[in-house]
Amino acid sequence: MHEPFIWLELPPGDAVRQRLRVSTCVAQGRSAHQAWEVWDSPDHGRLYRLDGHAMAATADEHRCHEPLVHMPGLAHPAPCDALVLGGGDGASAREMLKYPGLQTVVVAELDAAVVEMSRRWLPSLPAGAFDDPRLQLRIGDARDYVVDAPAASVDLVVFDLTDPEDSPASGLYGADFLAACKRLLRAGGLLSLHLGHPVAHAQRIDTLLARLQASFRIVCLIHTDVPLYGGPWLMACASDDTDPLACTPTQIRSRIAALRAPLRCIDDGRYRQTMTRA
């Protein structure tokens, strides 16, 4: 007998409406900031949603977190300190901790409930990252952390946040906050963030790219495919003085080989194929 399933409606984009096939709600709750749910799915494995938005699934989360972290990370010759904004599920931190020279990664997450949810119900996402002595978890508004952090103190800043529209992170995509994050980057540092679905979020993508290009000299598009998000997905990588497209295949191959754990969807060839100039 087939396991019964139901369809979850996801909030619509401008041009795409998506449903997820799921079988069982494993856990759910509401924090002071948002509602959260964990579901089992025959197609996506175990996944979680925040305020109805699908965030990550065990079957394909590497297609999201590897490009977001490693496209800027591999472009940098030797990252030592990193900042993840949001990222309470621990997956971006897990990827960041693969860099052998990394000394600290700060995860500035608003909602402690997301961290606890991931640790309990989706442990493959952090994969022990929260127990790594190099990780510093800061619960609270990421804006406060960024404003108070010293200038030129990190090599990588990764935005692993909820959507710009109608979420607790909506205020963290403005030009002023991008400038505040840029202040934290050392020479050669890079910043990455989600843009969205190229059709459903076209206006958002244009707006965010314009803000990045106003703040940074070099902006690259990262092209990936995340089934949980409806297929094609765009991210961006920005810097003033490190051009990810200037890296040679030999450099990328060497840097991937030096990582503490293997990658699933990025190699030296895919690195070049995945990125274009904005």
Q: Torsion angle, CA of 7/11/16/20, rounded to 10 degrees? A: -20
Instruction: Name the residue among 206, 262, 196, 270 with its Cα closest to residue 233.
Output: 196
122, 89 contact by CB (below 8 A):
yes
Alpha helices in 32-171 (DSSP H): 62-75, 91-96, 112-121, 142-148
Instruction: Name the residue among 265, 259, 213 with its Cα closest to residue 239.
Output: 213
162, 54 contact by CB (below 8 A):
no
- 139 DSSP β-pair partners: 109
- The token pair that represents 36 in the structure block: 């959260």
155 is catalytic: no
Provide the residue type at 97 as one letter. Answer: L
How does DSSP assign 141-154, residue by residue? Answer: -HHHHHHHSPTT-E
Catalytic residue among 155, 160, 163, 268: 160
**204 HSE (CA, 13 A, CB side):** 22
159, 192 contact by CB (below 8 A):
yes
72, 156 contact by CB (below 8 A):
yes
Annotated active-site positions, please? Answer: 160
